[in-house]
Chains A and B, each alone.
Chain A
Amino acid sequence: SSELTQEPAVSVALGQTVRITCQGDSLRIYYAAWYQQKPGQAPVLVIYGRNHRPSGIPDRFSGSSSGSTASLTITGAQAEDEADYYCNSRDSSGNLLLFGGGTKLTVL
Chain B
Amino acid sequence: EVHLVQSGAEVTKPGTTLRISCKVSGYTFTDYYMHWVQQAPGKGLEWMGLIDPDDGETRHAEKLQGRVTMTADTSTDTAYMELSSLRSEDSAVYYCATGFCSRTSCYFEYWGQGTLVTVSS
Contacts and interface: CB of A to CB of B under 8 A. Distances in A.
Nearest to B6: A42
Nearest to A47: B107
A31 B107 CA distance: 9
Contacts, number: 69
Contacts of A37: 45
A45 B104 contact: no
Given A95-B59, A96-B59, A101 B106 contact: no
Interface residues of B, number: 24
A42 B111 contact: yes
Interface residues of A, number: 27
Interface stretch (A13-21, A75-83, A85-93): A85-93
Interface string B27-50: 000000001010000001111001
A84 to B, nearest CB: 8
A49 B105 contact: yes
Contacts of A98: 47
A54 B104 CA distance: 18
A45 B45 contact: no
B65 to A, nearest CB: 11
B99 interface: yes
B105 A30 contact: yes
A97 B105 contact: no
A88 B111 contact: no
A88 B107 contact: yes
Contact of B105 (A31, A54, A100, A101): A31
A97 B106 contact: yes
Given A45-B109, A96-B61, 12 more contacts: A30-B106, A33-B105, A35-B45, A42-B95, A44-B111, A45-B99, A48-B107, A90-B105, A96-B62, A97-B47, A98-B47, A99-B44
8 A-B pairs with least C-beta separation: A33-B107, A31-B105, A102-B44, A48-B107, A42-B111, A97-B47, A99-B45, A101-B44
